Structure 1
C-alpha cells in the first residue's frame, strides 16, 4: 500500500467492507466520519485501483451439502513449467478446490477441497487427481474441526 493517496480512512473503509460488503456509503460515512459522497469516491477509487477485487456472499457449506473439508497435498510427477501449467489448468476446472497453493519443501501443492462425503473425496482423489499425468503422489487429510476461517486481512 505504497500509494500516497491511501490513508487511514481508506484502511477503515476496507476493514468495514471486509466484515460486511453490503454496507452502503451512508453506513460507511457514519462509521468513518466522512460524507457519503466522499465514501463513495473513495470506494470507487479503491475498486478501480484493485484494493477491492470484488464482492462475494459467504455461503454455508454445511447447509449446501459440503460438510467435509479436506486438505490435500500433491507432488508433481516432473518439475517443469509445462507440467505445472497442466496441473494449474486441471485445478481451474475443479469447483471443489477452494484454495490451491504452490509450496516450497517436500510437497509441491496444498489444496483445500470441499466434498459432500467420503465417497466423493475418494472419487476426487482416485478418479481426478491421481490419474492426471502431471501428478505423482497425493496425500489427503480430513478436517475434524475448523477453529478459524476468514478471508479478512489484518488491516
Structure 2
C-alpha cells in the first residue's frame, strides 16, 4: 500500500517518534495546527498504520535484565507447518523481544533478554531448543549497546 505523506504528516511523525508523550496541544503548536486538526491528523496516521502504537521505552537493566543476546536459528524440516508452530511459540515468549525471518545460512534471528548468563543458558537449552523445528542455534551476547534508536529517518523540510 503506497501512502503519500505531506510535510505536516512528516513533521508529526518525526516529533512523535522523538517524544510520544508530547501533549496534543504542544504538538499542534510545534507544527502550526489547531489542536483539533492535529488530533485528527494523528488519529489518521494511526488508522492507516503509519503509527503502529505509542509505547514507553523501558530500561531493561533497571528491571533486572542484565543480558541481551542475539540468536540465529535454523529450522528443520523447512515447511509452513513447522514455521507457523515455531512462530506461535516465539510470539508467546516474553523473553524474545524481536524475531526476524532472514535470508542466508540461518532462518531466523531473535533478540533475547535474560536476568543473567545462567538464565540465558537455561532459556536457550530448556525453552528455545524445545520449540518446534529448532535444529540449530548460534548465540552472540551483547557486550555493550553503543547505539539504539527507535526513530526511523523521515526527511522533513519543516522548521
- Cross-structure match for 1:146: 145
Would you identify which runs of 4 or more consecutive aligned residues in structure 1 move more than 6 Å? Answer: none
**TM-score, with length taken from structure 2:** 0.92
Q: 2 CA distance for matches of 1:108 and 1:33? A: 47
Which structure 2 residues correspond to residues 34-113 of structure 1 after superposition, within 5 A? 34-113=33-112
- Deviation string for 1:15-61 (max 9, x for gaps)? 10011111112111221122222111111111111111211111110
- Cross-structure match for 2:128: 129
1:81/1:40 CA distance change after superposition, 3 Å: same
- Cross-structure match for 2:3: 3
- Cross-structure match for 2:11: 12
Considering Cα pairs closer than 8 Å and 6+ residues apart, tell me whether 1 or 2 has the greater RCO: 2
User: When the two structures are aligned, how many residues end up with a matched partner?
Assistant: 154
Q: 2 CA distance for matches of 1:25 and 1:130? A: 46
Using the TM superposition, give the Cα deviation of residue 63 of structure 1 relative to its aligned residue in structure 2, in angstroms: 0.5
Using the TM superposition, give the Cα deviation of residue 133 of structure 1 relative to its aligned residue in structure 2, in angstroms: 3.7
Structure 2 unaligned regions, length at least 5:
155-159
**TM-score, with length taken from structure 1:** 0.94
- Cross-structure match for 1:115: 114
Structure 1 unaligned regions, length at least 5:
none
Secondary structure at the residue paired with 1:89? helix
Q: 1 CA distance for matches of 2:57 and 2:74? A: 31
- Deviation string for 1:84-140 (max 9, x for gaps)? 011101101110101000111101110110000011111111101113341100111
Q: 2 CA distance for matches of 1:17 and 1:133? A: 39
RMSD: 1.3
Q: 2 CA distance for matches of 1:117 and 1:65? A: 9
